Structure 1
Amino acid sequence: MKIITKNGATYNSLSVSIISDLIKSVKTLVAIVSDDRKLNYKDNGFFKEFIDDITQDELNKGLEVVKEILANERELLKEYFLMFKEVSTEEASLKYAKEFKKDEIDKARDKAIEGGVSFKDKIFQSAEKDRNLLTSTVSLFAITKQVPEGFVWIAQDNTAVPFTLEELTQLGSIMANSVNTNTIKARELKDKVEKAQNLQELESIVWSD
């Protein structure tokens, strides 16, 4: 596998910093070509100028590599994809735009699920570890059918809120409902993403609170 940019430079490997420089300074894309792929140059008398005959498939493979490296650099990846769309077919642009849109929806779903739930005029943390702890607590006290005297559950603002076993169960139900509702919402939006026929239609699909 060889890594080559649209201006003909080759690399043995890529990193976040290299890709950032290619985007911001060089303003070029990355392509992945086979080891036996012949690279063509034209001698203009001063230096050999790269003949850009990179295929869409090679650009697609380059994007796949860049996506993996920039997994935690979403803004940088967006910049790269904007350049990718400018020189790619609509089919390729739509394919990868759908993948990015699905990732965006998944992140919005997780944020909604883990962003806390409202109960007893307080916001309670609702990340997976919080939901698991609540489930374990309810199961423990279900044996005696009551919580210890003076039992409290800590709200997101670190205040201690008195809870009965029934109220703990209600809080668990609210969290479970949030998981279910937002999971279904994400699934429906991703189904719309799959059916989108063009980039304009795809861009109109957004997560709304």
Structure 2
Amino acid sequence: MRYYKDKDNLVYGFEDDIKVDTSIYTEISKEEALELVKPIPPTPPSEEELLANAKENKLKEIDAKRDEAIESGVTYKDKVFQSAEKDRNLLTSTVSLFSITKSLPEGFVWIAKDNTAVSMSLEDLIALGALMASSVNENTIKARNLKDAVLKATTLDEVKGIVWN
């Protein structure tokens, strides 16, 4: 095996019986070839890069915690009700529809997170919707305040100290 490099120091290996155009390639020793292809160790990230990465990860963590808190359910009538976006939308639609008639069908129930049927009046549905809206608002404001703190942080320790509790 013979080793060559081109004008850009890219290394090539050719079997001995291959004719090589020496106007394009320069023959080099195996040692030089190995030196040229030796990986360059990565440059460790700067303090600024570490801080920027920590902030980016912390912001994503806050978003996930916010979403988890909003979707963990709300308690009403001693029952936990699902509060994911689709659940809030369904409740809003139901309240809107039945607010027009100002009544619910006889025996109307809303299903709790544990799949039990809970009797509800129109006022109960409105109160449940208000609880969900309040949860969304509280958790969104909490996340915004934490994110503002992350953006203002100037050290890794400051970023690490920002937690959702």
TM-score by length of 2: 0.78
Q: Distance in 2 between matches of 1:120 and 1:110?
A: 23
The corresponding residue for 1:52 is: 40
Q: Matched residue pairs, number?
A: 140
SS at match of 2:90: helix
Alignment correspondent of 2:52: 95
Letter in 1 for 2:40: D
Q: 1:112, 1:182 within 8 Å by CA — same for their partners in 2?
A: yes
**Aligned equivalents of 1:108, 1:44: Cα separation in 2:** 54
What is the CA-CA distance between 1:44 and the residue it aligns to?
4.1
Name stretches of at least 5 consecutive residues in structure 1 with no aligned partner.
Answer: 1-37, 56-86
Q: Where does 1:178-197 land on structure 2 (aligned, <5 Å)? A: 178-197=135-154
Pair 203,173 (structure 1): closer, same or farther in 2 beyond 3 Å? same
Percent identity reads 59
Q: Distance in 2 between matches of 1:193 and 1:127?
A: 26
Structure 2 counterpart SS, 1:146: coil
Please list, as runs of the form range in 1=range in 2, the aligned pairs for 1:1-209 lying within 5 A after superposition: 44=31, 47-48=34-35, 49-50=37-38, 52=40, 87-208=44-165
Check conservation: 1:141, 1:165, Cα contact below 8 A.
yes
Judged with a 3 Å threshold, the aligned counterparts in structure 2 of structure 1 residues 170 and 134 are, in CA distance, closer, same or farther, namely same
CA distance in 2, matches of 1:89, 1:52: 17
Task: Indicate the structure (1 or 2) with the bigger Cα radius of gyration.
Answer: 2
Note if contact 1:98-1:193 (Cα within 8 Å) is conserved in structure 2. yes
Letter in 2 for 1:109: R
TM-score, normalised to structure 1, is 0.62
Deviation, 1:54, is 5.3
How much has 1:53 moved relative to structure 2? 6.5
Shift of 1:50: 2.0
Q: Which has the higher contact order (CA 8 A, sep 6+)?
A: 2
Q: State the secondary structure of the residue aligned to 2:101.
A: coil
1:47 to partner: Cα distance = 3.0
